């Protein structure tokens, strides 16, 4: 199964981040780039949204936004191709 590298393309100060955690590099084993985005979403999706007031929390994962992250096929040999779908590596942005 292929692995995918997800990297930020937006500037760290871009307002699209909406106070989300930012990841420098996430490696995901998944059958497609789209599914890699879905799996990586567990890293930055809040457990629950704010429930009162006029707050507007980011709803959903930033990994789904192509203006925040790009997905490229990984050609590294560090992570074996065999194994279950999942996050293989995650490095938070400084």
Tens-digit pLDDT string for the chain (94 aa): 899 999 999 999 999 998 888 999 999 999 999 999 999 999 987 665 555 655 555 567 899 999 999 999 998 778 888 899 999 999 999 8
Query: Which string of DSSP letters, residue by residue, matches 6-61?
Result: EEE-S-TT-GGGTT---EEEEEEE-SSHHHHHHHHGGGTS-SS---STT-----S-
Where do the structural domains in the chain lie, given as residue ranges? 3-47+55-92
Q: Look up the pTM and report it.
A: 0.83
């Amino acid at each position: 199964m292929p692995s995918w590298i997800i990297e930020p393309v937006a500037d760290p100060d871009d307002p699209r981040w909406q106070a989300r955690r930012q990841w420098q590099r996430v490696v995901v084993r998944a059958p497609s780039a789209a599914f890699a985005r879905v799996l990586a979403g567990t890293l930055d999706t809040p457990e629950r949204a704010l429930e009162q007031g006029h707050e507007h929390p980011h709803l959903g994962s930033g990994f789904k936004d192509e203006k925040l992250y790009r997905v490229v096929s990984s050609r590294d040999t560090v992570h074996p191709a065999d194994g279950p779908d999942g996050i293989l590596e995650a490095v938070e942005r400084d």
